[in-house]
Amino acid sequence: MENANKKYSFLEAEEAEALFAEIDFMFKSGQHIQNYPHQVEMFNFVEKFEEDLRLYYRNLFKVNLAGKGSDYARYFYLEMDDESRGVVKSRAKKLTPEHTLLGILLLKIHRIDKYFINDIYVPDFIQLLKTNEEYKNFIYNLFARRREKEATEIDENTIDEWVRNSLKEFERLGWIHFDTRNKELFEIMPSIERLFTMYSYEIHNIDRLIDETNSIEEKTGGLYPVEEGEAE
C-alpha cells in the first residue's frame, strides 16, 4: 500500500490535468512520445518529470519507462512483456511478423540504401518496392513462403495492402508521422531506432530473411502497436 499511496509530484503539476491522461493512454497503448512538434507539450512534461514518472510506472505497474536518444532524437516508451501487459491492462497487441518485415525493409531502404532522405511519399515508396528487382524479389518470395503460395500468385493489391496497413501501425506506434495536410506523405521518427537496434543484423542482411522468418516471430514479443480503433 505504501507505493499505491505515494504522492507523485507530476500529478500535482498545473499541466498534469490537461496532459497526463493522454500521455498515460499512449504509453499503455504501446506508443512513443518524442521531441517533435506534434508531441512537444507531452514530451516536455515527460522529460520534466521523467524520474517521478519512472517510479510511478515501476511501483504501480511493474514496467520501466525507457528514455532513449538525445536532444531532438529523444523518445520515451514503456518496456512491456506479456506479463507486464496484464498488470498495465495494456490495449496493445504484438506487432505482426509481416508488419515487422515491412519495417525492416523500410529501414534498409532509408538507412542503408539511402533512398528518401527526407519525407517519403507513399505511392513513390510502393512503386520502388514493385520496380526495384532486389526489393521486388524479396517481397514476392517472402509472401510466397509465408502464405504458402507461388510467387506469381502474389498480386500488386496484396503489396499495396501490406504497405498501407503496416504504415498505419507504424504511425500509431509513433515510428512515423504523416503530414496533416497530405496523408500520403510521412517522415520517419526517432523512435523507429528501436526497430533498427533490434533487427540491425536482418536489415544489413535482408536477403537471408527468406530462410530465417522464424526469427522474426521470436523477436517481436517486445514490440506492441496500438490495437485497431483504440487510438482514434
Residue 108 belongs to some domain of the structure: yes
- Looking at the structure of the chain, the number of domains it has is 2
106 and 217 housed in the same domain: yes
Give the whole-angstrom CA distance, residue 220 versus residue 94. 7
Predicted structure pTM score: 0.80
Find out whether 92 and 32 touch, Cβ atoms under 8 Å: no
Find out whether 177 and 35 touch, Cβ atoms under 8 Å: no
Read off the C-alpha cell for 6: 505515494
119 and 136 housed in the same domain: yes
Give the whole-angstrom CA distance, residue 4 versus residue 75. 27
> Which residue reads 506508443 in cell numbers?
31
143 and 195 housed in the same domain: yes
Residue 231 belongs to some domain of the structure: no
Q: Please provide the average confidence, as pLDDT, over all residues in the chain.
A: 82
Give the whole-angstrom CA distance, residue 49 versus residue 197. 26
Sign of CA dihedral 158, 206, 187, 72: positive
Closest C-alpha among 19, 30, 11 to residue 77: 30
81 and 102 housed in the same domain: no
Sign of CA dihedral 120, 22, 76, 205: negative
The yes-or-no verdict on residue 151 having pLDDT over 60 is: no
105 and 198 housed in the same domain: yes
89-142, pLDDT tens digit by residue? 555 567 788 888 899 999 999 999 999 888 999 999 999 998 999 888 888 777
Domain limits for position 6: 2-88
Could you tell me the CATH number of the domain that includes residue 145? Answer: 1.10.10.2260
118 and 78 housed in the same domain: no
